[in-house]
Amino acid sequence: MSHYEVPGAIRVLAVAPDDTLYIGAGCGVVHFQAGRLETLLNVDCNESGRRPSLLPMEIVFEHNDLVWVGGALNIASYDGQSWQEYGLPALRVAVDHDDTIWTVGWDGRNGSDCCLTHLTATGPISYTWPAGAQAPPEVLNKLFGPLIR
């Protein structure tokens, strides 16, 4: 048995297709591979002069090797070199069959009670629930579990 010190509170663990481990900890992400931890996105929520990034809640993997991290503050993708943040809170994240991303969270608009958001090539499209939800049943199942039919 080995012990590894992970900075920050662990919120989510996800095993990647390559059998490495991604850890949502604190405000960022750590990657465990070949017996070592590598900080991919700053986990220190209190670092001077830096705003918290994600508060990770879910990590999923797109077929083209993108890592998606949904969090209480943001959703971001990681291509192995750099992060792209989308400015939308995403408490749950699912990858559709066409590698587009669906999220459950707030769309950033004041007064909105939404929503499902579909991240498309032309930008995010938000849907209120249940009216207007356009997600395929398999995506809804990933986001909400077997209770949705």
Residue 91 lies in a domain: yes
- Tens place of pLDDT for every residue, the chain, 149 residues? 777 888 788 999 999 999 999 999 988 899 999 989 999 988 777 766 555 668 899 999 998 789 999 988 889 999 999 999 888 888 889 998 888 898 887 655 665 556 788 888 888 888 776 655 677 778 877 887 754 44
Identity of the amino acid at 119: L
Say if residues 95 and 135 touch (Cβ distance below 8 Å).
Answer: no
Residue 21 lies in a domain: yes
In total, how many domains does the chain have?
A: 1
Say if residues 32 and 21 touch (Cβ distance below 8 Å).
Answer: yes
Residues spanned by the domain of 83: 10-45+52-144
Say if residues 118 and 128 touch (Cβ distance below 8 Å).
Answer: no
Kindly tell me the burial class for residue 69, based on how many C-beta atoms sit within 10 Å of its own C-beta (0-12, 13-18, 19 or more).
buried
Say if residues 117 and 90 touch (Cβ distance below 8 Å).
Answer: yes
Residue 106 lies in a domain: yes
Provide the CATH number for the domain around residue 106.
Answer: 2.130.10.10
